[in-house]
Amino acid sequence: MNDTPNLEVHHQAAFSDDGELEVQESSVETSLEDFGADVDHRDRESRRDQPEASDFGVDDRPDVQDSSEDDEQAALFPDTNDDQRTLTGENAATRCLFDD
């Protein structure tokens, strides 16, 4: 099922050089460059930084730890019933577990 609405465009307007809106007969495309932004159009390949060995045949690269192995997730708020209270009478569900 496609959630994209099917829109019908009746009129399209654009700002003229003097700042007034004018109805356009053709499709209007804009870019950030039209508003004075510097846009970098170079195609770049992203790649993970990998350390290199200092000499040929010597593997003295530092150990790279996979970030997914060291991730520990903990709840920020306790999993409680809606009517559960702390000893001071506050709502227990809204008490942050990492308060000082």
Q: Which domain, by its residues, includes 80?
A: 74-100
Q: Please indicate, yes or no, if residue 78 is contained in any of the structural domains.
A: yes
Q: Please indicate, yes or no, if residue 97 is contained in any of the structural domains.
A: yes
Q: Please indicate, yes or no, if residue 66 is contained in any of the structural domains.
A: no
DSSP string, 27-71: -----GGGGT-----------------SSTT---PPPPPPHHHH-
**What are the pLDDT digits (tens) for 34-81?**
888 888 888 877 777 777 777 888 888 777 666 655 567 777 888 888
Confidence of residue 9 (pLDDT cuts 50, 70, 90): low
Residue 26 pLDDT exceeds 80:
no
Q: What is the count of structural domains for the chain?
A: 1
18: phi then psi, degrees, rounded to nearest 5: -95, 5
Between residues 98 and 89, the one the model is more confident about: 89
Q: Please indicate, yes or no, if residue 33 is contained in any of the structural domains.
A: no
Q: Can you give the pLDDT at residue 14?
A: 80
Q: Which pTM was predicted?
A: 0.25
